[in-house]
Amino acid sequence: MAAGAETLTPFVYWGQKTDHVSLKIDLKDVVNPKVDLTEDGLKFEADGTGIRGHNLYQLDIDFYHPVDPDKSRYRVLDRCVDFYIQKTGSGEVWPRLTNQKIKYPWLKIDFDKVAYEDESESEAEEQKSAEDVMKQLEKELQLDSADAPDLPDLKTVYLFVYNLFQFVGFTFISFTLLVNFFKNKEKAMSSGFNLVGNPFMVCQTAAIMEILHPVLGLVKSSAITPLLQVLGRNFILFVVILHEENTQTAPLVFFLLLTWSSIEVFRYPFYMLAVLNKKIYAVTWMRYTLWIPLYPLGLFLEGKQLCKSGWKMKHEKK
């Protein structure tokens, strides 16, 4: 089919018997159809609603063999334009509709209107032709399905979005802390919680889902490790730091928040790739190498924060 760059072509479903070809042009609400059916081909143009919405659609087909336009007919229906095209000659089954052996993405097989080699053949020959046709149909379906993208399931989408949300959140927190530290070291260390306290609490609240993921079967891991990590970190954040305003301005809190967020910046990209069954060496390396100094450092700072808060509470009672 010869068509300009802006030409819209509708889906066409075709089938055949030994004496005629059936065409169904998949257009709704067709207006002003222009049909030029000759022995060698069909030219069609009409306004209608198709795969690209309501537009002008055009079609230009060169047939595999000549047809008889005088004995052919068509009708405009609400949901399509239906053609009955009479074959000429001895009534053989066409191997394809078009003259050129090209796979057109808009041309489909009409499963209800498929002919066999010779409907007057013996039963064995007819069954063989039927098998050939089914193989051809299977091939068409494989080609069509190969063009369709594989869509991820709901679980994959959710896990990817969750990890992406956490990655963006902790990246923002780390970036904010570091930028303010290099601008004004003393002020940044005393205002760390004031700068990123709210987004940090949002991310840590969302992290509770990591306890539920293995329970719900979304990930294949134990719920004990995230339970200890999330609840321990949330206790320090929401109970110790949030309720003791005097500790929020301490440099210890600044370095604790920076260490926590740095751990997650390298952890969540690894999980995002794992959800998609992808692996990038650099991300895997950072996930398991930077973990070695950051996790012990985080545990040390958490312990120091607990000890400091406990000492303050004891001192205030006295």
What strands lie across the sheet with 12-16, from one edge to the other?
Answer: 67-76, 81-87, 20-25, 12-16, 107-109
Is 295 among the catalytic positions?
A: yes
Question: What does the alpha-carbon distance between residue 295 and residue 297 come to, in Å, rounded to a whole number?
Answer: 5
Residue 265 carries which side chain, given as an amino acid letter? V
Q: Which helix (H) or strand (E) holds 218?
A: none
Our CA angle for 203, 168, 280, nearest 5°, is 120
Please name the helix (run of DSSP H) or strand (run of DSSP E) that holds residue 8, with its range, or none.
Answer: none
Active site residue 288: no
Catalytic member of 92, 210, 302, 316:
302
Q: How many CB atoms lie within 10 A of CB 266?
A: 19
Compute CA distances 114 → 14, 16, 17, 61, 165, whole Å.
9, 5, 7, 19, 52
Q: What angle do CA 182, 186, 189 make, to 5 degrees?
A: 85
Q: Which of 119, 281, 295, 316 is catalytic?
A: 295
Q: Are strands 53-62 and 67-76 parallel, antiparallel or unpaired?
A: unpaired
- Supply the DSSP symbol for 235: I
Helix (H, G, I), strand (E, B) or coil at 6: coil
Q: Give the C-alpha distances (Å, rounded to integers) separating 153 from 90, 147, 159, 160.
A: 52, 18, 10, 11
Active-site annotation, residues: 295, 302
